[in-house]
Amino acid sequence: MSAIGEFRVPAAAFLLDDALGSVAGTVTVERMVVDGDEAVTPYVWVASADFEGFEATLDGDPSVASFALVEDHPEERLYRIEWRDEHNGLLPALDDVAATVLRAEGEDGVWTLRALFPDRDAAATFHDRVREGDEGIELVRLYRADDPSTYGQYEVTDEQREALTVAREAGYFAVPRECSLADVAEELGISRNAASARLRRGQDALVGHTLDHDDRPPS
């Protein structure tokens, strides 16, 4: 039975080491397009107070061949990034066990990576391989892909859960609203843009895995 593994991965072992370590904000890989055997093109959402600084860092990142702005919103931007072929061995290790990157969220130099494996043995094989490489990759949790209740997260990351909980306790969702987004961000110790992104993505995950679920009982 297929399984989903969540890992904490230093940016140096995955993607955008320079950008993720130097720019305040969150970077979320929505999807990764593989063109042929080598070329990998990540599409990433960036929530940052300094988009120009982020782009300048991309220009100097040796793992980035080129990048393009796809969508531009006040609080976040979507980039298409051409990754150089000489990337690290993390993706080949995933490919060797027929695993697929579902999502990756990066902040403060660390990625939280979620990957789908054919079974638990494949996940264990991958973890053993990257651990032998001594890249600092840590397995956070492993659960059945067909049953979110086995881990109780409904695809919400720890950071998103914390943001939603803090916002609720502070009255951000109350009517009328009892605090501002800036207040929530201050409590979390992150930027307003990052707080906004965490709340929206957390809400999207909750709705997608509760109200909008293919296996919900008929009314």
Cα-flanking dihedrals φ and ψ of residue 87, to 5°? -75, 175
| Confidence (pTM) | 0.59
pLDDT bucket at 215, cuts 50 / 70 / 90: very low
Instruction: Quick: pLDDT tens for 23-42.
Output: 667 788 876 665 555 556 78
Question: Quick check: 213 pLDDT over 50?
Answer: no
Question: Quick check: 65 pLDDT over 70?
Answer: yes
Asked if residue 92 has a cis previous peptide bond (ω within 30° of 0), the answer is no
Looking at residue 217, what is its pLDDT?
40
Instruction: Quick: pLDDT tens for 150-169.
Output: 444 556 777 888 899 999 99
Structure tokens at 183: 């207040």
DSSP summary character for residue 81: E
Per-domain boundaries in the chain: 3-144, 158-208
Instruction: Quick: pLDDT tens for 100-137.
Output: 888 888 877 788 888 888 888 888 888 888 877 666 78
pLDDT bucket at 214, cuts 50 / 70 / 90: very low
Cβ(158)–Cβ(141) below 8 Å: no
Sign of CA dihedral 103, 61, 194, 78: negative
Average pLDDT score over residue span 60-65: 82
Cα 105 → chain centroid: 2
What value does the mean pLDDT of the chain take? Answer: 78
DSSP summary character for residue 123: H
Average pLDDT score over residue span 4-10: 85
Question: Quick check: 9 pLDDT over 60?
Answer: yes
Query: Angle 134-36-93 (CA atoms, 0-180°, nearest 5)?
Result: 20
